[in-house]
Structure 1
């Protein structure tokens, strides 16, 4: 049974994509304890409170932004699968450069580390742009969210693997040993090795093959993944969709980035999704977890173990993300998540203030650590779960659902570029804000989450379980009606999932049957690529 499942191409795509996404998670967890290694800081020639700590972490995101643009163009030119391969190779080279930083002339260590971070960012940013598109183009319409959520659960697995590795080597070797920070970097090579070995097993997406005029190869890909009986129906649907796009013309970055152009509206939705995700503050929590627990009054060792527990809880709770994302929708998860995150950070600000006041002796009655630390830990754990369920996946998923095929990789690239710059700013400023604002940083995150929730409620359409073409129809209707408010476009139809009524089993079958009664052909409602029964 398991062997047969592993031979299934859909399963192989999810496993491969999950491994690629886990590579990004590993980097986040890897740097969180490397930043506090004394040998690493000495080798780089910086202090623990130096702004360079944040710069080394954040330049990676600039590399991600550039890598996303390059990879998206390459994936449109040569294909999704070759794009993934090149990105993996680039990330591997950058990781090796980081490992060797400081082994040569000492005065070059910082420059080598920064170069390695940027090059690795090029590869990982490319993966972040291409992999969601690759997965989305090979998934059913009512399963795209579940597939990507499962892959992002692997992202948290990578984060856990890195942090556990860091904790083990740090406590075995000590914070003054260079191998306590070099070993986690080298272990990261496990991911490129696995990805290289799996690349040859994967199909190219039939959508891209049709887009590139390779219909015969598209037929071979469909037969390999979905069975020979599916070939004629699927190739006809894909060809017709491509002909519609050809009549509209190819989409350029100018069409996406210049106000008033055809793809400006979906691009704003894409940009704001990533900006708002960065404003939730969880890029900072992932990288600077131990320091955040320190603000709640815990010592260094306790803070590290509590961070590890938070990451493990994060991984477990991500299961609810892929359970809920197709049942409740992207928009519901985002708005609800922002609301609870705002409340959580406001409470953390209060508890952090009490903890620091107690430590500094500025109040008459000393407050025990457990009185602030335990509730603060519980709230931070729950807030992390809320972020994982509500905000980790949708900002990456929505751009793969709202653009035409000729702009899907470019839309994902825009998403990664904005994510890169937003997280560059957050991870650069976070250590500075830690040193100057202490617990008041939590209050800033409470406000930014409130802003993120309000914007999403007003302007982000629900794209779940709809076909790519149906999602593009929202933006056409918005232009015709002269409004971007989701409440006003098409009578508020896009505020919720289209199958919210009459699809209690979550499969979409009731909706398809209703569509047949309404005279809608199967091809207009059913996914273009569907696993055969």
Structure 2
């Protein structure tokens, strides 16, 4: 039975995409304890509180931003699958460069490490841009969120894998050991090996093939996944969608980035999704987890194990993300999540202040530490459920096919620059603000929630074409307010498309505005 399940194309796509996303998660967890390894710091010629620690971490995101643009263009021209494979190779190369930093040329360790981080970022940023598009084009309308959320659960699995390996080698070999930081780096090569091995099994998306007039290949791709009896109907739907896009014209970056152009509005929604995700502060928590717990008053070893527990809890709670995202919607999750994150960080600020002054106030550590653990764990769960997936998913749903990869690339570029700023500034804020850093995050989450509630439409359970209708109606109405456009219909999931059974099975779906759109999946979970 397991063998049959593994042979299904749907299973292979999900496993492949999940592994690619897990690679991105692995890097997030990889640097967390490497940053505190004394041999690593000595090899790089820096101290633990040196701003260069944050620069080494953050330049990776600049590589991600550039890699997303290059990979999206490559995937548009050559194919989604070759695009993913090229990105995997780049990430593997960057990882090897990082591993070799300080070997044979100790005085050049820091530049080599920086180059390795950038090169690895090129690959991972490309994966972040191409994989969500690949998955979205192979998922049904009422399951796109579920598919991507399941893959991002693998992202947290990768993060956990990296941190657990870090913990094991650090406490086995010690913080002065060279291999306590080199082993976690080179272990990442497991992911490229698995991805390259599995590439031959994957289909190219029929949507991309039709877009590039490769109809025969598209038919073979559909037949391999669904059977010969499905080919004609699916090809017809894809060709009709492609013909409509040709009438509308191909979308360029100028159309997306110049105010007033047709795709400017969805581009702003995409940009603000990633900016707001960065403002939640969880980029800092994932990279600097042990330091966060130290702010709450815990010693280094305890903080490291509490961080590991937080990541494991994060992994488990991500199950609720893929259960809820297609049932409650992207917008609801983000607004609700921002509210509870703001509350959580405000409480953490209070607890951090009490922890810092516990001796003079004669407050036991556990009186502030245990509530701090509970609140931070719950805040991590809220972020994973509400904010980890939607900013990546929405760009794949609101652009036409000819701009979807570009939209995903813009999303990754903004994510890269936003996280570059957050990871660069976080060590500085740790030093200068202490526990007041939590209050900064409470305020930034409040801003994120307000913007999302005002301007981010609900894109779940709608066809790609229906989501594009929102922006046309917004232009006609002369406003971006979700409460005003289309009488507020885009504030929530369309009732007629919600799968009440919760099983993603086939059902009669009402047509919106008399249009079919691209409603049939390219990969159907029920097949």
Match of 1:394 in 2: 390
Describe how 1:97-496 pairs up with structure 2 within 5 A. 97-358=97-358, 361=359, 363=360, 365-496=361-492
* Residue pair 1:226, 1:531 contacting (<8 A) in 2 also: no
Kindly report the root-mean-square deviation, in angstroms, between the aligned alpha carbons of the 2 structures. 1.5
In 1, the alpha carbon distance for the partners of 2:251 and 2:522 equals: 21
Deviation at 1:3, TM superposition (A): 1.2
Deviation at 1:499, TM superposition (A): 2.6
In 1, the alpha carbon distance for the partners of 2:513 and 2:389 equals: 34
* Residue pair 2:209, 2:215 contacting (<8 A) in 1 also: yes
Match of 1:70 in 2: 70
* Residue pair 1:24, 1:124 contacting (<8 A) in 2 also: yes
Deviations, residues 331-386 of structure 1 (Å, cap 9, x unaligned): 0000000000000000000000000012xx4x3x3111100000001000000000
Match of 2:508 in 1: 512
Distance 1:434-1:90 versus aligned 2 partners, 3 A rule: same
Residue aligned with 2:357, SS: helix
In 1, the alpha carbon distance for the partners of 2:276 and 2:424 equals: 17
Distance 1:246-1:385 versus aligned 2 partners, 3 A rule: same
TM-score by length of 1: 0.97
Deviation at 1:56, TM superposition (A): 0.0
Distance 1:166-1:519 versus aligned 2 partners, 3 A rule: closer
Distance 1:528-1:184 versus aligned 2 partners, 3 A rule: closer
Residue aligned with 1:200, SS: helix
Q: Please list every run of 5 or more consecutive structure 2 residues that lacks an aligned counterpart in the other structure.
A: none
In 1, the alpha carbon distance for the partners of 2:172 and 2:307 equals: 18
* Residue pair 2:142, 2:498 contacting (<8 A) in 1 also: no
In 1, the alpha carbon distance for the partners of 2:259 and 2:517 equals: 33
* Residue pair 2:166, 2:180 contacting (<8 A) in 1 also: yes
1:37 aligned to 2:37?
A: yes
In 2, the alpha carbon distance for the partners of 1:39 and 1:61 equals: 24
Residue aligned with 1:277, SS: helix
Deviations, residues 89-109 of structure 1 (Å, cap 9, x unaligned): 000000000000001221100
* Residue pair 2:142, 2:497 contacting (<8 A) in 1 also: no
Number of corresponding residues: 527
Deviation at 1:249, TM superposition (A): 1.0
TM-score by length of 2: 0.98
